[in-house]
A and B are shown apart, each in its own frame.
Chain A
C-alpha cells in the first residue's frame, strides 16, 4: 500500500447538481471517482496524481435504465452487475451483456460502472467494442446543459476523450435496431476470468441476398483507443460475402490495426488474432447464408 489517504481529498456531494456545481466551480481540479476499480488501484500503487476527488458512488441520478421503443438509455453510474441483470440489455444488446460478464470478477462488476469504463479510456476496455458496433451515443452533462456525441467520436487519443473539464459522462444511448443483425463479440484475454483483453473484436452485420448490406466492426487493443475499423468495414460493405471477400477483409484489418507490444502480448499476435476473429465471424455468416 503506497498511497496516503491524507494526501487526497474525497467528497461526496450526493446529488448530480451538487457534483456538477463542484466541477463548474473549479474546472479540471476535481477528479470524479465512481466504483474505484481503476483509481483505487492507482491509489494503492502510489500512482494516483489527483489530489481532489469527488465521489459519484450513490449519485442515484446517474444509475438508471430509461427504456423507450426505439432506445435504451443507460446511466453512466450503472454497474456491470446492473447491466447483467437488465432484461432489455440481454434481449436487445446481447454483446453488451456478454462484455459486462467479462469485466473482472463479481466483486469488480458490482462496483465498476459503464461510465467509468469509458472515461478511463483503456484501449482494452471491455464494454467498448459492443457499444461501438451498436452505434452508441454518449450524453455529457455539465451546469451548461447536456450534449450528445457519437461514441465513436468520444475517444480522441490514448486515454483522451472529447469531454471538457466541467463535464461528466451522463448516459449512454443505444438505438434498439440491432435485433435482426448478426452479432459477434469475442475477447481474447490472458486467461478465462479476471483478464485484461489482449484483443477483442465486435461486429454487427446485415446480409441481403448474400451481400453485406450493413457492417460495423470495432476492436479493443488494436489501436491507442477502442475504435471502429472503418477501412475494414469499407472493404466489406456492399460486397458479396464469399471466401475471397473474407481474405480481403482480413487484409484490410491487418493493414488498419495499429496494436502495440507490451508485457501482456505483442502487436503481431494481436493483429493476426484480430483478423482470425473477423474471419470467424464472417465464416459463420457465410455458412448461415449458404444454409438459407
Chain B
C-alpha cells in the first residue's frame, strides 16, 4: 500500500497541489481531483490519444503518466485553450471545417495539433498525418481534421506558440 502524497502541478497556468497516490495516473488526477473532464479516456493503453495533454511542452498520453512524474511540471489541457471566452484558432478552425463530429477524440486531437503547430507552424500534409497519428478518430476519416489544422496554420490570427 502507498500513502497519498502532496504533489504540485501547474495546470493551465494555475499552481496547485493535489494530495494523491503517486502512481495515480495524471489522467485520473485531472478528471477526478481537478474535475477537468475535457481530457478523455478511450483505451487506457496509450493507443487512442484521447487523453493527450502537454507536459512541459511535450505531448504525452496522460493515461501513461504516473502523477509523481508530473510533479512540478506545467500541464496544458483542452480547458486552457480558449482565453477569456475567445476560442483558440485551432478550436475555431475545427468548428468551421467540421473537424469535430462526436467530439470524444477532439480534446486530445486539439492538444496534438497544438503541439504540432508549436514546433512546426506550417506543417506539410505528411507532417500533419504523423503529428496526429497517435490520436484515433473513428468518425471523420481525418480529412476534415487535416483541413482544420491546415486552416489554423494559415490563419493570420494564429498566435505564436512559444516552446
List chain A positions with a Cβ less than 8 A from chain B: 1, 3, 5-12, 33, 35-37, 40-41, 43-45, 53, 55, 57-58, 81, 104-108, 110-111, 192-194
Contact = CB atoms under 8 A, between A and B. Distances in A.
B24 A5 contact: yes
19 contacts: A3-B23, A5-B2, A5-B23, A7-B1, A7-B2, A9-B23, A10-B66, A40-B46, A40-B66, A41-B44, A44-B63, A45-B45, A55-B69, A104-B46, A105-B134, A106-B134, A108-B46, A108-B61, A111-B61
Contacts of A105: 49, 133-135
B52 interface: yes
Contacts of A111: 58, 60-61, 64-65
Contact of B59 (A12, A106, A194): A106
Contact of A1 (B44, B68, B116, B134): B44
B60 A53 contact: no
Contacts of B40: none
A12 B1 CA distance: 16
Contact of A106 (B25, B63, B68, B112): B112
Contact of B23 (A8, A41, A58, A81): A8
How big is the B interface, by class? 35 or more
Contacts of A108: 46, 61, 64, 134
A111 B53 CA distance: 13
Contact of A193 (B28, B44, B60, B130): B130
A36 B1 contact: no
A6 B116 CA distance: 35
A1 B32 CA distance: 13
Nearest to A33: B66
Nearest to A7: B1
A9 B4 CA distance: 10
B21 interface: yes
B76 interface: no
Given A105-B133, A194-B136, 19 more contacts: A6-B2, A6-B21, A10-B21, A11-B22, A12-B69, A36-B69, A40-B64, A40-B66, A44-B25, A45-B44, A105-B134, A106-B112, A107-B52, A107-B59, A108-B64, A111-B61, A193-B129, A193-B130, A194-B47
A193 B41 CA distance: 20
Interface string B18-49: 00111111001000000000000100111101
Nearest to B116: A106
Given A1-B28, A6-B2, A11-B22, A107 B41 contact: no
B59 A10 contact: no
Contacts of B49: 105, 107
Contact of A43 (B23, B59, B112): B23
Nearest to A44: B44
Contacts of B2: 5-10
Contacts of B116: 106
A111 B135 CA distance: 16
Contacts of A3: 23
Contact of A10 (B23, B46, B60): B23
